[in-house]
Amino acid sequence: LSNVLETPAAGFNFDNTARNAALEGLFDGGLTPKPLKTGTTIAGVVYKDGVVLGADTRATSSEVVADKMCAKIHFISPNIYCCGAGTAADTEKTTDILSSNLSIFSLNSGRNPRVVMAVNILQEMLYRYHGQIGANLILGGVDCTGNHLYTVGPYGSVDK
């Protein structure tokens, strides 16, 4: 019990290597199953001067690689970008609609949109379809109120 309650030390922990070596002998072939990479990797980081978004470029359909150079970082407005994971067509169309709405706002007002405005539009759009749009998004941008990074789920849930 004392091991569980101890605060982990800083740095890397290699305790699982002994466990993995012990588990290898339990399988018939003597080898553990190979890991299978599926899905999309998207990430965002806020720092004092801005926001950095990153994504992989591989589009998969179960275990088959459908496209090796899929663009997953979408332009929303000059100060806002979005990373998308999920159904490629849904993320593409959702970000296109958002970009169009914010372009109309910019043309009417002469100002760049705020990041929270983009998040609210996304939230309302995705909530309306109750998860039928398979888009998981990370929206990041810089506006007059600072640097912002949000995640928006397919049901319209938002985390800052």
Residues annotated as part of the active site: 40
CA 117 – CA 138 distance, rounded (Å):
14
Max distance between CA atoms of the chain, in angstroms, equals 67
Strand partners, 81: 75, 140
Q: Which two tokens stand for residue 30?
A: 């003597």
- Rounded to 10 deg, the angle between the 115-128 and 88-109 helix axes is 130
* Owner of token pair 């109750």: 130
- b/e 20-35 (16+ beta carbons within 10 angstroms → b): eeeeeeeeeeeeeeee
Coil, strand or helix at 72 = coil
Q: Which two tokens stand for residue 3?
A: 């091991």
